Structure 1
Amino acid sequence: MFTNGFSTLQMPKDFEAVNAKDEFTELYLVDTKIPMTIKFSTTPTLVGLPEIRDDIEKNVKTNERITLIESDFVLINGTIYYKIVSSFSDGEKEIRRNEFLYVEDNNLYIFEFTYPYADRELDDFYLDIIRSFKISVPKYIVENGEYRINHE
């Protein structure tokens, strides 16, 4: 189980934690046998999922290396998430990325699953991780166009 005092989620077996490279990445996991990476991030935001969807779709359409496979709102545990499935090429391999985004209390929660093939069998795998997600308190408090970590 992963917890940072703000949120918790179930970590899958056989994945190893890797040091995060940016301040918003809460958890970065790697399984070299599959190979697959899982990234969980929290960022402050002042916009909702419709605006986030519009921005992402606009950015994907302007990047020739990314192919948009699916972009839609989905219901998980009674909560609306924005799901975007894309693939991109590094010139040698095609990589698939499934992202699930959720906004609550000016906090954007992002689940990103990246692997080198399209496999519908993985749907339950990553949905089980998202279903285990619980928010204790919002990590960020956004006020007057600025954000700070919630120390309450």
Structure 2
Amino acid sequence: MTMFSNGFVTLQMPKDFEAIPTKDEFNDMYLVNTKIPMSIKFSTTPTLVGLPEIREDIEKNFKDNDRIDLILSDFIVINDIIYYMIVSSFSDGEKEIRRNEFLYVKDNNLYIFEYTYPYADRELDDFYLNVIRSLKIIVPKYIVENGEYRLNKKD
């Protein structure tokens, strides 16, 4: 089993996935598997709001975008932790794509798991839940104070 670690979190990386470098400040891990095909994105962003407010904003954005179909928007429990889950689909004109997102807030940090794969694929509940269950937060990535954020530098 391969583990991902950036000093802030550790995660189990699924077999047969390749890490793709990213320069996005908030994107911690981006993996692809061309055999499935599937991508996994794990991000951390600073936030001052909780999951209910995040859910409200996301659902409003979906209503304003007629290109994306919202399939499910609900709170679920994973490892005794409340996550907000969004399942959506969109078409690129040739094939339908499904995206499952799981959001979690702790210490003013929003942790986002995003799985994107062809809609026709079988359900992958155990697959993506195993990655989520492997999340270990070492320290918050961002410190949020006075309406601003900064990287939590370990001295």
The amino acid of 1:54's aligned partner reads E
The amino acid of 1:106's aligned partner reads N
Gap regions ≥5 residues in structure 1:
none
Q: Which secondary structure state, in structure 2, belongs to the residue aligned with residue 54 of structure 1?
A: helix
Partners of 1:85 and 1:118 in 2: CA distance: 14
Structure 1 vs Structure 2 CA RMSD:
1.0
Question: Which structure 2 residues correspond to residues 50-129 of structure 1 after superposition, within 5 A?
Answer: 50-119=52-121, 121-129=123-131
Q: Which residue of 2 aligns with 1:35?
A: 37
Q: Which secondary structure state, in structure 2, belongs to the residue aligned with residue 57 of structure 1?
A: helix
Identity %: 80
Query: Displacement of 1:101 after TM fit?
Result: 0.1
Partners of 1:87 and 1:15 in 2: CA distance: 22
Q: Aligned residues, how many?
A: 152
The amino acid of 1:49's aligned partner reads L
Moved over 6 A (4+): none
TM-score, structure 2 normalization: 0.95
Q: Which moves more between the two structures, 86-95 or 65-74? A: 86-95
Query: Displacement of 1:122 after TM fit?
Result: 0.6
